[in-house]
Amino acid sequence: MAFEAYIINLLILIGIFSILAISLNLAMGFTGLLNIGHIAFYGIGAYTSALLALSLGVPFWIGLVAGGLLAAFFGLILAIPTIKLRGDYLALATLAFAIIMESIFRNWISLTRGPLGLPGIPKPVFFGLTLSGFSYLILVFVFVIITYLFITRLTKSPFGRVLKAIREDELVAKSLGKNTLKFKTIALVISAFFAGIAGSLYAHYITFIDPSTFSILESILVIAMIIIGGLASVPGAVVGAFIVLLIPEVLRFLPIPSYAIGAVRQILFALILVILLIKRPQGILGEFAFKKK
Amino acid sequence: MPLINQLLANGLIAGAIYALMASSFSLIFNIVKFMDFSPGAIYVLAAFAAFFFNIVLGLNFFVALILSLIIVSLAAIVINKSVYKPIRERKGSNFILLLASFGVFLIVTGIILLLFGAQVKTFGLPIEKGYDIFGALITKTQILLIVTSLVLFFFLQLFMKTTKLGKSMRAVADNREIASTLGINVEKTITITFVIAAILAGVAGILVGIEQNIEHSMGFIVVIKGITASIVGGVGNVPAALLGGFLIGIVENLGILFLPSGYKDAIAFLILIIFLLFRPQGIFGVKTREEVSG
């Protein structure tokens, strides 16, 4: 029974991170937007729906949508001034954005309780049934499928082909008469929306959130997932989430003292990331690697 | 006005560290052409190495300092040879290099965490009485910190302008292919760049270590502050990093007058976004906007 609960917990987290990784892949893998601050949208979704539930008693389902929409809105706010920045500079701007958001989660104490975090976030109720354990896994699974199918369809549509054209050569896309800034903005907003949904799913599952869950290092974890699984590959993002989240679990069964697990986990996944970046920057299932133009 | 003077003094002290980090970042960015986060790890490595030699082994401080700087130089050479060089040879983009530098950062700080644990360490220097300068209290160590930063900066400028090596670094920065056809050993120049950058970041880490205390997680914010400082001063312009560093240090400290002190880090990053949007070439930069946005 305990083992079953352990597996279910792991699968739920993998599911939530799959949504996060798929959504980041839309912006980074398919469109080539170097967004290092993706975790901020996840945090906005989590805080929005947690605060709505805790202070206003808003039901999970409305909070979930609100979390996604507010994250999307922040995606738009971030995109309007910064989307024209090139490459590394966009990476820096998104990094700064994520640090500012984390700083707000940490310091707007009257709203977020700062580092104390928000405990007691209610579990979702579905037709009188409180979702937890296996039923929560089903819920997360449904959202993974929705995200998976939506992003797959989107990237195979004419819209998605424009995104890839922008990634390969923005000037060509422009000269074909495409408003590339608009396309990039829409990609970032959709990406932020799904990250917000993932955040809400996380908050109502763990029932406790605090600012450290949304630190920039977690963002690197998600980037590692899509680099490992493969840039511009939707199944790759899921594979990446599996691999990155299973690494620390494997360590659990090795004779490593518990205080060292965090450090060993960090070293191991960073090592895998670096080796892949050197040997196979397109990842396991990816079709694309950032190369010098 | 003692409060403002104290905040200005604190800004200068923080600024001296940011200036060192900014020049470390700027050197690599100008010559090797990518945003490298590994100086943040080098900063932590140097501080812990100095702690190890000086406190754990009980060596003389200056011996410990020299040994630590040798260690970070070797680390920089190993990182370049084993990670960045293979990626350069595969023609990986700047972003791949940036991500790899994140990986390097996590590996190095992870190893330090594994070896030294998560507790905060101190060099255990006696608590000094500060000098009263215009109502601001400044300790001898803090003065030493600011002076060291300025002196190093001066020597860096001198080195870049007058020595053959400095000139070849500038040539590689301008155009790698042409430098190479002129008989400059590009790979060697890049290696030396990483070593100098590591010494700058390493000195910053050791100075902060003796002035405050050290922990494995202290490198991340400081490297981003250094990047911010170099963008604000003007990328592509190493001297401007000095000004950017002091500016960021002073502004974020004065910001405490208007915002809760928890927002100190956010102020610097707000400045970063504002500069990226409105003056991406920085205060002294000459870069055209086209290089930054399309």
Give the lowest-confidence range in A111-120, A229-238, A255-264. A255-264
Q: Out of A82, A264, A290, whose CB is closest to B277?
A: A82
In a domain, A68, yes or no: yes
Residue A187's pLDDT is: 93
- The arithmetic mean of pLDDT across residues A9-21, rounded, is 94
Residue B294 confidence (pLDDT): 45
Q: Which of A39, A99, A168, A258 to mutate to test the interface with B (most CBs of B within 10 A)?
A: A99
The dihedral built from the CA positions of residue B82, B83, B86 and B89, taken in this order, carries a sign that is negative
In sequence order, which residues have a C-beta less than 8 Å from that of residue A45 and are 6 or more positions away? A67, A68, A70, A71, A195, A196, A197, A198, A199, A200, A203
- The pLDDT score that the predictor gives to residue B287 is 55
pLDDT level of residue A169 (50, 70, 90 thresholds): confident
Cβ-Cβ pairs closer than 8 A, A with B, add up to 152
- The CA-atom distances, in angstroms, between A206 and each of A77, A110, B70, B112 are 29, 22, 46, 30
Q: Tell me the pLDDT tens digit for each residue of B110-158.
A: 999 999 988 888 887 777 777 777 777 788 888 888 999 899 988 988 8
Residue B92 has pLDDT above 60, yes or no: yes
Residue A161 domain flag: yes
pLDDT above 90 for B101: yes
End-to-end CA distance of chain B: 46
User: Is residue A137 a contact partner of residue A16, using CB atoms and an 8 Å limit?
Assistant: no
Element (H, E) at B131: strand B131-133
What residues make up the domain containing A46?
16-214
Q: What's the per-residue H, E or C state across chain A? A: CHHHHHHHHHHHHHHHHHHHHHHHHHHHHHCCCCCCCHHHHHHHHHHHHHHHHHHHCCCHHHHHHHHHHHHHHHHHHHHHHHCCECHHHHHHHHHHHHHHHHHHHHHCHHHHCHHHCECCCCCCEECCEECCCHHHHHHHHHHHHHHHHHHHHHHHCHHHHHHHHHHHCHHHHHHCCCCHHHHHHHHHHHHHHHHHHHHHHHHHHHCCECHHHHCHHHHHHHHHHHHHHCCCCHHHHHHHHHHHHHHHHHHHCCCCCHHHHHHHHHHHHHHHHHHHHHHCCCCCCCCCCCECC
pLDDT at residue B268 is higher than 60: yes
Q: Which residue is closest to B103 within chain A, CA to CA?
A: A270
**The pLDDT value given to residue A148:** 95
Q: How confident is the model at residue A70 (pLDDT cuts 50, 70, 90)?
A: very high
pLDDT of residue A71: 97
Confidence of residue B290 (pLDDT cuts 50, 70, 90): very low
How many angstroms separate the CA of residue B293 from the nearest CA in chain A?
A: 4
The beta-carbon neighbor of A267 closest among B110, B272, B276 is B110
Q: What percent of chain A is predicted at pLDDT more than 90?
A: 39
The pLDDT of residue A81 is 86
Nearest to B254 by CA among B14, B36, B30, B76: B14
pLDDT at residue A232, as a whole number: 85
Lowest mean pLDDT among B59-68, B104-113, B125-134: B125-134
Q: How confident is the model at residue B286, as a pLDDT?
A: 62
Contact A263 B110 (CB under 8 A): yes
Q: Which of A191-195, A226-230, A281-285 shows the highest mean pLDDT?
A: A191-195
Asked if B292's CB is within 8 angstroms of A96's CB, the reply is no
Is A267 inside a domain boundary? Answer: no
A57 within a domain of the structure (yes/no):
yes
The pLDDT of residue B241 is 85
- Per-residue pLDDT, B289: 45
Chain A residues touching residue B231 (CB < 8 angstroms): 92
> Token pair of B251, please?
């502004």
Q: What is the pLDDT of residue A149?
A: 95
Identify all chain A residues contacting B90, using CB atoms and an 8 Å cutoff. 278, 281
Instruction: Identify the band that residue A276 occupies on the pLDDT scale cut at 50, 70 and 90.
Output: confident
Q: Domains in chain A: how many in total? A: 1
- Predicted confidence (pLDDT) at residue A264 exceeds the cutoff of 90: no
Contact flag B99-A223 (C-beta cutoff 8 Å): yes
What pLDDT is stored for residue B233 in this prediction? Answer: 86
Measure the CA–CA gap between A64 and A198, rounded to whole angstroms: 9
Task: Choose among A217, A278, A291: nearest Cβ to B93.
Answer: A291
For residues B55-69, average pLDDT: 92
Residue of chain A nearest B37, judged by CA positions: A92
pLDDT, tens only, B203-232: 999 999 988 889 988 999 899 999 999 888
What pLDDT score was predicted for residue A16?
95
| B266 neighbourhood in chain A, CB within 8 Å | 99-100, 103-104, 107
Using the beta-carbon criterion (under 8 Å), do A264 and B277 form an inter-chain contact? no
Q: How confident is the model at residue A1 (pLDDT cuts 50, 70, 90)?
A: low
Query: Which residue(s) pair with A85 in the sheet?
Result: B293
- Contact list in B for residue A247 (CB cut-off 8 A) is none
CA distance A200 to chain B (A): 24
Report the gap between the CA of A16 and the closest CA in chain B (Å).
Answer: 23
pLDDT tops 80 at residue A61: yes
- The alpha carbon of residue B273 is apart from the nearest alpha carbon of chain A, in Å, by 6
Q: CB of A204 within 8 A of CB of A67?
A: no
ipTM of the modeled complex: 0.85
**Chain A closest-CA separation from residue B130 CA (Å):** 31
DSSP B80: I
Lowest pLDDT segment from A197-201, B174-178, B257-261 = B257-261
> So what's the pLDDT on residue B71?
97
pLDDT at B236 over 70: no
Q: Of A122, A92, A102, whose CA–CA distance to A39 is shortest? A: A102
Report the percentage of chain B scoring pLDDT > 70. 95
Domain regions of chain B by residue span: 2-216
> What per-residue confidence (pLDDT) applies to B211?
85
Question: Per-residue pLDDT averaged across B43-71, rounded?
Answer: 94
Average pLDDT over residues B24-33: 90
Q: Are A136 and A202 in contact (CB under 8 A)?
A: no
Within-domain flag for A275: no
